[in-house]
């Protein structure tokens, strides 16, 4: 994109300078070059403002948790806190938000291996969540 802009500016400058009388060529060439530099500066400022974190069209982070946390109470219904508690003892125990995320994914049908891999959980912890989600789905009855 930058190379295309350089070529376009070069061609425009050559055409403008050729169309002007020889004594005025340095002045016109300087004016064209100044205009190009000004256009480049404006484009650079706009690009920097748009890419600055938390501004304009830059990337947005994950949504901030509301009053009830990352997930609604309905999404977390049936969360097997008592079954997971023994697996959470130790220095590398996952945080509660990661476990809640794993629970929501398990209720959506993701398997133990996928959850363990993507959320960096032990297979045992992911397995407990997946089994509890299957039990919950079996108790829910047929969908309408």
pTM score of the predicted model: 0.50
pLDDT for position 116: 93
pLDDT digits (tens, 9 = 90+) for 97-141: 888 889 999 998 999 999 999 999 989 889 999 999 999 888 655
Angle at 69 between CA 67 and CA 73, to 5 degrees: 90
CA distances from 90 to 23, 37, 117 (A): 83, 60, 19
Q: What is the CA radius of gyration of the chain?
A: 30
- Average confidence score pLDDT of the chain: 79
Mean pLDDT of 56-71: 54
Measured CA to CA, the distance from residue 53 to residue 60 in angstroms comes to 8
Closest CA to 8 of 40, 30, 31: 40
Task: At 68, give phi and psi (nearest 5°).
Answer: -95, 10
Helix, strand, coil distribution of the chain in percent, nearest 5: 65, 0, 35
The domain limits of the chain are 95-140
- Answer with the residue of higher pLDDT: 58 or 136: 136
């Amino acid at each position: 994109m930058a190379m295309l802009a350089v070529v376009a500016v070069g061609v425009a400058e050559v055409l403008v300078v050729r169309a002007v009388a020889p004594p005025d060529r340095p002045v016109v060439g300087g004016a064209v070059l100044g205009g190009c530099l000004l256009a480049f500066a404006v484009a650079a400022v706009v690009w920097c403002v748009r890419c600055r974190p938390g501004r304009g069209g830059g990337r947005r982070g994950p949504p901030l948790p509301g009053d009830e946390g990352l997930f609604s109470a309905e999404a977390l219904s049936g969360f097997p806190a008592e079954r997971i508690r023994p697996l959470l003892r130790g220095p590398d125990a996952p945080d509660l938000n990661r476990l809640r995320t794993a629970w929501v994914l398990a209720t959506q049908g993701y398997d133990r291996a996928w959850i363990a891999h993507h959320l960096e959980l032990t297979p045992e912890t992911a397995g407990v969540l997946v089994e509890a989600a299957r039990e919950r789905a079996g108790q829910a009855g047929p969908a309408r």
